[in-house]
Structure 1
């Protein structure tokens, strides 16, 4: 099993309902392939971790790289994993919003990633949730 984390930038013309389309397809494919993970997006960027059998995670990432709804994918981490940390989440998702309560958002993300054993992966999600989006 592997765990892969990447960040990407949303296409300029990405509609809000496109996120739902991405999630529907991801959840369908991930259930089929037993890939689990977490996706955070703030309207401009995506941060995602995928975990599962290497061939299926790599196939999912290959589909992501070809998806025109985002660009500039950067793989931040890929490593062997002994156990799943995202349980049965075929794709948990959170939309980060500049108008929401930042402390509540940070606390929610902290709870979501609390069991992630790799401190670097956990720190990526925690810091992504704490970005000041009010000036963006």
Structure 2
């Protein structure tokens, strides 16, 4: 099984960047492909971990890189894993005016079973984006 973690930015002027719609479509694709993970979005940036069969995860990442809503897609890690670290698919999304600490706590809880490096990536990203 493969785990891939990437970060990207929303392309300025991109249409259809509704995180709820993205999650809905992702759930359909990911269920079909046996992919799970975590998608963090604050409306301007995405941090995502994908886990599942290597060829399916690679295909999903290729689709994401080709998606015109994304720019500056950067792979942060790619590694073989024995078992899923994120369990069921989940999404953490920060809405303007929401409780910052509650959001950071939610990201920490969702990433709790991930490897220390991957967990630190999600937690630090949420902290850095706190004021964004």
TM more than 0.5? yes
Structure 1 unpaired stretches of 5+: none
Contact in 2 for aligned 1:96/1:129 (Cα 8 Å)? no
SS at structure 2 position matched to 1:79: strand
Structure 2 unpaired stretches of 5+: none
Aligned match of 1:101: 99
Q: Say what the alpha-carbon RMSD is for the aligned residues.
A: 1.6
Aligned match of 1:129: 126
Single out whichever of 13-22 and 63-72 deviates more from structure 2: 13-22
SS at structure 2 position matched to 1:93: strand
Aligned match of 1:113: 111
Contact in 1 for aligned 2:2/2:79 (Cα 8 Å)? yes
- For these two proteins, the number of residue pairs brought into alignment is 132
Q: Distance in 2 between matches of 1:34 and 1:61?
A: 14
SS at structure 2 position matched to 1:37: strand
Q: Which 4+ runs in 1 deviate beyond 6 A?
A: none
Contact in 1 for aligned 2:15/2:69 (Cα 8 Å)? no
SS at structure 1 position matched to 2:68: coil
Shift of 1:16: 6.7
Shift of 1:20: 2.7
1:54-109 deviation digits (Å, cap 9, x = unpaired): 000000000001000111100000000000112232xx111124522222111111
Distance 1:17-1:63 versus aligned 2 partners, 3 A rule: closer
TM-score, with normalisation over the residues of structure 2?
A: 0.91
Shift of 1:19: 2.3
TM-score, with normalisation over the residues of structure 1?
A: 0.88
